Each structure stands twice: as structure tokens, then as C-alpha cells.
Amino acid sequence: MSYIASIGTSQPEFNMKQTEVKDFIKNIFPRPEKELDRLMPVFENAHVANRQFVVSKAWFSEQHSFVERNRIYQEKTLQHSLEAIDKCLSSKENFHDPIPYEAIDSFVFVSSTGISTPSMDAHIVNKRSFRDDITRIPLWGLGCAGGASGLARGHEWLEANNSGVTLIVCAELCSLTFQKDDERKSNFIGSALFGDGISAALMIGDKSEYRHHIRQPVPKVKAVSSRLKKQSLDVMGWEIAPHGFEVIFAKSIPRLVETFWKEHVDDFMEKQGTISTDYGFFIAHPGGKKVLNAIEKVLDVSEDSLQFSYQVLHDHGNMSSCTVLYILKEWMKNGVEPGEKSIVSALGPGFSSELLEVEWSG
């Protein structure tokens, strides 16, 4: 078993209201006015009110090279990852005493919105007093599924090293991928949905001495499951273009929730010997409002069961891999009773699905 003991986040510098983004995009997007009028309702229907970015509004109106975008990605990822980690390890709400950097045995770094070699976890390790024998596990290209996948891989590492401590960091600067002159509908939809986010989670093994630092009930990971739908590479991902990444975002995603994801979650619950009513709530990554509606339909649950998925989408937008950790953090703050169960879920490129069953433990 492993315990998700703490989650820390870092707030990007620039907050923009959805109404402000809508007006701005309408002025700079290269589309005929009739077509713009047809597409603009996506901003109202996205269930997004605010988003945070690491660059200012003026930055989006200019053309940028991939080199410039990636340089900003590396600088801002390092800055915000360190802040999220510092908050995660020193949380007075979660720990009796701070967890020292030297306690971290393995480090899972998740991102899909920029590149770096050495990977960003190496840059982060050099800025704090982590041990030099830390196991590094960089994960790239998992997109929105990356947060749940990072937790699952951290859990699997702790299953094999049950006295260890694992750090998971998700850093997604989606704003840096926006292409001013990309006329495709998927880019337009992305401009109404995606934001920047950085989150860090600490996972503690069942036999670790640092379990005694935990001061309140936290989710214990009981089981994980991954699934890949073959012949679906064009559903979600990046097209690599001269100026950077161009988003691939198929309209079939909500339908895949009702088919591919339904089969995965049904099989997962069958293996756990559970049904949807055994779970008090669900920690679901909100690919968008339509995805959350499809999840409700599959599970036959109300919007209340996904309340923090809706809240995080409303307050921050879709932050790719980081989002599910933001949602989990809200549930952890909510004072869940020991024994309560939930499922963490996220969908991503591939087309892929990641599931974890968690139970709050005293």
C-alpha cells in the first residue's frame, strides 16, 4: 500500500477571466466573422471562469519560435515546481513536522508541454538538498492522463520499496503551446479550455517511518489499472509544427467515455468487487464539461459526486496532467472520513485511461 500524504500547488503569475480571453481571442484569431460567431459559444459552454498563465495577455498576440517557447517552459517549470514542492513537503495541515528533501527516495516528473534534456527533475534536484542516489522517473507525452499515471507509477514503485517516499510533480504550461495562426477548430477549442498548472504530491510507503508525520486521514492507494485503445492515435496529442506544438483534440472524446472508458471502469470495479455506489465521490480529471457529463452518465451519479472536478475546471480550466492533483487536493481539504472510498481517473493521448482506487485511512 502507499499513502498520498500531501499535495502542493503553485499559482502562475497571470490570471485571466474567461470573458477576457473570449474577447481577446476573437480579435486575434484568423477566421471569418461568421465562423467566429458560430464558434464563440464554446467559451460559455466550457464551464471555465478563470485561468492562470505564466505569460501575459500581450504575449499571445505575438508570434514566437519553438526555441523561445521552450526556454520559457524550462524557466517557469523550474520556478513553479520548486514552489509546489516546498509547499507540499512543509504543509502544516498535512504533517506534524516538515518532510526533509533528503527523505525522498524516488521522483516522478510528469509533463507534456515542453522538453528538456536533462529532464526537468534533474534541474529541480540540483536546486534543493535531495540525495544524489534518488531514483528519477521522468514521464513525457501522457497529456491529461499524466497526473493519474504519475500517482500509479509512484504507487507501483512503493509497492516494491514499501519503506520509501516518492515525490510526483506535474508541470503543464499549456499557454506556451497556443499557436496564433493555427486555423484548426481544435486550436480554437483549446484556447477556451486549457490553462497552466503546477502540482506536487508526496506518496509514502506502508512501512516508511515518515507515515508518522501524517496528521490527518489521507487517501491510501489500493489498486491501479491502465488501458490503451489501439488505433486511436489521432484522438488527442500534439502535432509538431515549426513554431511548436499544435493541439489534437477530437470531438469523439465524450463518446469514448461512454464506450472505451465505461468498459475499463466496469472491469476495474469488478476486479475490486465494487459498484459505483460503493464510492462516495469521484476524483475525475475534467477533460471538459462534456467529458464530466459523460462520466456522470456512465457511473449513474449526480454532479455532486464530481463537485471538485467542476470547481477546479471552473477556477483553473483544464491544466492537463496537473488537474487531477488539484482536484484530489480539494477532496483532501474537505475532511473525508476514514474508510471512504473513491476512484481517481484520467484520460489521455494514446487513447489511454488510468484508474486508481483509493480509501481514506486514519
Distance CA 56, CA 65 (A): 17
Tell me phi and psi for residue 314, to 5 degrees: -65, -45
Task: Give dist(CA 328, CA 81) in Å, integer.
Answer: 18
The closest alpha carbon to 245, from 351, 156, 81, 112, belongs to: 112
Candidates 78, 99, 72; CA nearest to 7 is: 99
Q: Which three cell numbers stand for residue 83?
A: 514552489
Q: What is the DSSP letter of 220?
A: E
Confirm whether 144 is a catalytic residue: yes
Of the candidates 144, 170, 174, 322, the residue annotated as catalytic is: 144
SS3 of 89-113: HCCCCCECCCCCHHHCCEEEEEECC
C-alpha cell at 253: 472524446
CA distance 129 to 151: 23
Establish how many alpha carbons lie within 13 A of residue 271's alpha carbon, considering only the half-sphere containing its beta carbon.
13
**Sequence letter at residue 350:** G
Catalytic residues: 144
